[in-house]
Amino acid sequence: MSYSAKTMIIYLGDSQPYTCVVCEFVLRDDEDVESVKTEGACEHCVLMFKYSRRKEWDSGWRPTIAEARCY
* Structural domain for 59, as ranges: 30-70
Residue at 48 is within a domain = yes
Note the pLDDT of residue 18. 85
Angle at the Cα of 16 from the Cα atoms of 62 and 58, rounded to 5 degrees: 25
Residue at 64 is within a domain = yes
Query: Which tens digit of pLDDT belongs to each residue from 33-71?
Result: 999 999 999 999 999 999 999 999 999 999 999 999 987
Note the pLDDT of residue 49. 95
Nearest CA to 69 out of 13, 25, 21, 9 is that of: 25
Which value, to the nearest 10 degrees, does the dihedral of the CA atoms of residues 62, 22, 68, 12 take?
160
Note the pLDDT of residue 59. 94
Residue at 36 is within a domain = yes
Residue at 42 is within a domain = yes
The domain tally of the chain equals 1
Model-wide pTM > 0.75: no
Q: How far apart are CA 47 and CA 28, in angstroms?
A: 15
User: Does position 2 have pLDDT exceeding 90, yes or no?
Assistant: no
